Amino acid sequence: MRRVFDTGNAAITEAAIVAGCRVFAGYPITPATEIAENMARRLPEVGGYYVQAEDECAALHLCNGASLGGLKAMTATSGPGFILFADPFGWAVSAEIPVVIVDAQRVGPVSGITGAPGQGELYLSRYLAHGGNYETIVLAPSSVQEAFRLTVRAFALAERFRTPVTLLADQMVTDGWEALAIPETSDERAAMGLEVVPRRAHPGPDFYPASDAIDVPPVVLGRGAGGACSDWTPTERGHDTEEVEAQHKHAHRLIHKIRRHRHLIDEHEAWGLEDDPEVILVSYGTPSRVVKSAVARARAEGLRVGGLRLVSLWPFPDHLFARRARYLSVELNWDGQLVREIQRAMSPGSSAHFFGRCGELPRVAELCEASRALLRGERLARRGWELEAY
Amino acid sequence: MSDRIEILLSGHGGQGVVRLGQVLGLAGSRQGLGATMLVSHGTETRGGYVRSQVVLASGEVDSPVVERADCFCAMTASAYERFHPLVRGTLLYDPAVVAPGADRAARRVAVPASATAAGELGKPLLANVIFLGAVSRILAATLDRTAVVAALRDRIPRYPEENARAFELGWELAG
Amino acid sequence: MDPLAGKYLRPEKWPGTACPGCGLRLLHREVLTAIDALGLGPSDLVWGTAIGCTGRQTYATWRGDTFAGTHGRVYALATGLRLALPREKRILLTVGDGDAFTIGLPHLLAAARRNVDLTVVVGDNLGYQSTGGQYGVTTPAGSRTDSSPYGTWEPGWSDGGLDVLGIVREAGASFLARHTVLQRDAVVESVKAALGTRGFSLVQVVYGCHVHYGAQALGDGTVGAIQGWIRARTVPLEPGPAPEVAPAGFRTGVFHDARGARPEFTERLRDHVAAVRARAGRTS
């Protein structure tokens, strides 16, 4: 085990190498540039390839192409580049190509503030491909060590589900420094619960099972066996078709291979839910660490407060909101994104509330204050912002 | 040590604010403490303000946010203006650029880092290592001095003698 | 079934989606003729396409491996694939003029700059035809199309002395040629040369869409009319430097032949990786 004090960006790089990533194509962008720089240094050492693409759209297409040839690939970006992934992301979803995408969320909209954390891409990460008709997998780390673990996991899920997997990080995780243990042997990986799924190759010709099966090897070209793979609605052979029946089967597969196996994806952390709290603070990524401290402090004060940290964001964990409570969504944005999903998923009699912040993390004291106000049944308002629009 | 120590370091780009945080975090981490450091900065890697928030804890660090700084290193006037409301413990400031006003620091320590670096060491860039020495003395109950010096050597391997001397000067200034 | 098609194509995809009489079918067959002349089999070549008429006609027709990218992006996708394939595998891309020279041009130029070992065959139907006939950057100046009802007014890549192949040459391509689909032997020879190039190669083949371009711009939607019109406008490329004002028409011939002059993308990258590993004391 190698123990270092380093950034989330370094953790993601080392984890990708451990997971077998051998191609990184990217385009420099704050605060994800360091991942590209690290990959440029590390990949040649392990016989892998770093390519600096002409733009982010090309970067993900390059990764898709490498994966189509049998190499595991990853790219990393931030908001302005993430939006340019839309085209190749959709291609990878439809062609069922495993690839890993890192988005270090910063403050938007558009270029916004480069070196400060935001959480504005919850929905974009779900709906990045146009046209609907798919489900996707998104994971959110909240620490440097977890960024390592979830990157390895993202690669494993990408392989098993034949799909792009997005690591939705934030600037605090990617740029933040923390202790990091890097396993160096397979025993150490196993001890840390890290699963590395090797690339299996399906040379063709049939590779679109009309079922929700997972662990189907992705198509790999180059063996001349008649593999076929495109952006069109495929037949089971991968040929393009305009038949509505084939489209139904394809969409059904893209949606349900993930939804029906979501137990392999779902991951969360809960604090104090066993005590039937009245108020539950919900968050993901770095803000959840402040939430954890706030829940601990509130509970120490005897307040009926609990916390939920979402690790897997999509498919959205509706089942976590079955209990009747006042949910307070703590997010690094001002428009409220997670809170909308909570409002949709929560049980009757529950209410959803919003604590927004952007560019910096909330403070423990503020979250305790907001929790107390909710327990008193008061509305949350701060500096003229109507935070309880939900 | 108490369960949780919060350290805030701020100055402008190029002053080594991030390096200082790395050294403190690395030293803490090697001592078996929970350690986090958040870095915030503007677009420019040089010239804009830079802030490092270091949290050390006997166990895992949950919130990495400095809300009540046990130690605040103000390396520029604007850093002091921006962050002084957070200080509760010791304020370390460079008197050449910072004139402390009404803050809630329990203790104020003037660290003439820029003057000492330019005058005694002939190298203004070493001001940050002088600050590191001073901060380390304030944190002596939490961080082992030899661990900080070792972390300094690992993180900034060039000019080890000069750095050791600057660290020593800083340590003395915080006496 | 055509014997060449029977040898190389998936029977269920023959004769393809192109309109009866379309030059795209001639082009498809000319490419197969070149492949056959080189003695390549299904496992020697991976065939990629984009969208539009060319993509639909050629995608998943090849008995070997085949893929299609999104509009204009297949050059980046193929660059990634090139990284993963052994050097002896050819990658052929059959694309349209819009894909190569408009939406995909930045990616195409990046592939030329890197000298990625790809062969691009551009089926040039003189505009956007699968969407019903709108002008593009290879549509002759002044043409009336569905999106230029009063004639085109903005310059294309072949107007006023411009030549898009000059841009691709300057970007670093190894082999470039342009022919009309009616110059059968020349197309076959150029595609053969392109497929034999270790680096970025491109063959632009003008065929024109008789259904849309012929009807809208020439006032005659027959195959004979567009073929006659193409023949009348075909001029040979002048040897030496390009004339300041290019003559109107399709300047055909080998435009640029610098095969072997620049290292290929994956060779360069593999050398780089080997050098890094050697420095680190590892063997690759």
- Kindly list the residues of chain A whose beta carbon comes within 8 Å of any beta carbon in chain B: 5, 30, 113-116, 172, 175-179, 286, 289-290, 292-294, 296, 360-365
CATH at A371: 3.40.50.920
In a domain? residue A243 = no
Rounded CA separation A125/A129 (Å): 9
Do the chains contact at C77 and A64, CB–CB below 8 Å?
yes
In a domain? residue A263 = no
Among A191, A207, A227, residue at a domain's last position: A191
Closest approach of B18 to chain A, Cα-based (Å): 10
From the list B29, B38, B64, which residue is nearest A5 (CB)? B29
Q: What is the pLDDT of residue C148?
A: 97
Same-domain pairing of A37 and A170: yes
Q: Which residues of A touch B65 (CB under 8 A)?
A: 290, 361-364
CATH at A170: 3.40.50.970
Q: Which residues of A touch C47 (CB under 8 A)?
A: none
Question: Does the beta carbon of A91 lie under 8 angstroms from any beta carbon of chain C?
Answer: yes
Name the nearest CA neighbour of A156 among A249, A255, A20.
A20
Say whether the peptide bond before residue B112 is cis (omega within 30 degrees of 0): no
Name the nearest CA neighbour of C124 among C174, C177, C160.
C177
Sequence spans of domains, chain B:
4-173
Same-domain pairing of A168 and A309: no
Name the nearest CA neighbour of A273 among A312, A304, A311.
A304
DSSP strand E in C114-233: where?
Answer: 118-124, 175-180, 200-206
Among A191, A212, A229, residue at a domain's last position: A191
Same-domain pairing of A49 and A186: yes
Q: Which residues of A touch C41 (CB under 8 A)?
A: 224
The structural domains of chain C, ordered by start, are: 3-279 (3.40.50.970)
Using the 8-state DSSP alphabet, how is residue A83 labeled? G
> How does strand A385-386 pair with strand A381-382?
antiparallel
Q: Which residues of A touch B22 (CB under 8 A)?
A: 5, 177
Distances (CA, A) of C184 to C131, C180, C181, C213: 27, 8, 6, 22
From the list C59, C280, C282, which residue is nearest A230 (CB)? C59
Number of domains observed in the structure of chain A: 2
The range of the structural domain enclosing residue A113 comes to 2-191
The helix/strand/coil state of A217 is: coil
Q: What is the pLDDT of residues C201-226, one digit of tens each?
A: 999 999 999 999 999 999 999 999 99
Q: What is the pLDDT of residue A102?
A: 98
Nearest CA in chain C to A205: C65
With beta carbons less than 8 A apart as the criterion, state whether B23 and B132 touch: yes
DSSP per residue, chain B: --SEEEEEEEEETTS-HHHHHHHHHHHHHHTT-EEEEEEEE-S-SSSSEEEEEEEEESS-------SSEEEEEE-SHHHHHHHGGGEEEEEEE-TTT----S---SEEEE--HHHHHHHTSS-GGGHHHHHHHHHHHHTTTTS-HHHHHHHHHHHS-SSHHHHHHHHHHHHHHT-
In a domain? residue A233 = no
Nearest CA in chain A to B41: A115
Burial of C27 (0-12, 13-18, 19+ CB in 10 A): buried
Q: Which residues of A touch C76 (CB under 8 A)?
A: 53-54, 57-59, 61-62, 65, 88
Question: Does the beta carbon of C8 lie under 8 angstroms from any beta carbon of chain A?
Answer: no
Q: What is the pLDDT of residues C265-284, one digit of tens each?
A: 999 999 999 999 999 886 54
Q: Which residues of C touch A58 (CB under 8 A)?
A: 73, 76, 79, 106-107, 110
Within the 225-254 window of chain A, which residues sit less than 8 Å (CB to CB) from chain C? 225-232, 237-240
Q: C122: which residues sit within 8 A by CB, 6+ positions away?
A: C54, C95, C96, C97, C99, C100, C101, C202, C203, C204, C205
pLDDT at C241 over 70: no
Same-domain pairing of A306 and A186: no
Say whether the peptide bond before residue A205 is cis (omega within 30 degrees of 0): yes
Among A191, A208, A233, residue at a domain's last position: A191
Architecture (CATH level 2) of domain B4-173: 3-Layer(aba) Sandwich (3.40)
C247: confidence class by pLDDT, cuts 50, 70, 90: low
Same-domain pairing of A302 and A175: no
Rounded CA separation A365/A357 (Å): 14
Distances (CA, A) of B162 to B107, C45, C191: 29, 62, 67
Average pLDDT along chain A, 390 residues, taken 10 residues at a time: 96 98 96 96 97 98 98 97 98 98 95 88 97 97 98 98 97 93 95 96 81 94 93 93 95 97 98 97 98 98 98 98 96 94 95 91 94 89 51
From the list B37, B43, B63, which residue is nearest A177 (CB)? B37
In a domain? residue A373 = yes
Name the nearest CA neighbour of C173 among C198, C192, C150.
C198
Distances (CA, A) of A43 to A38, A40, A145: 8, 6, 21
pLDDT at C243 over 70: no
Same-domain pairing of A183 and A272: no
Do the chains contact at C60 and A69, CB–CB below 8 Å?
no
From the list B21, B26, B43, which residue is nearest A115 (CB)? B43
pLDDT < 50: residue spans in chain B: 43-46
Q: What is the pLDDT of residue C240?
A: 58
Q: What are phi and psi of C4, to 5 degrees?
A: -65, -45
Closest approach of A103 to chain C, Cα-based (Å): 20
Q: C156: which residues sit within 8 A by CB, 6+ positions away?
A: C135, C136, C137, C138, C139, C140, C141, C162
Q: A89: which residues sit within 8 A by CB, 6+ positions away?
A: A60, A101, A128, A129, A164
C239: confidence class by pLDDT, cuts 50, 70, 90: low
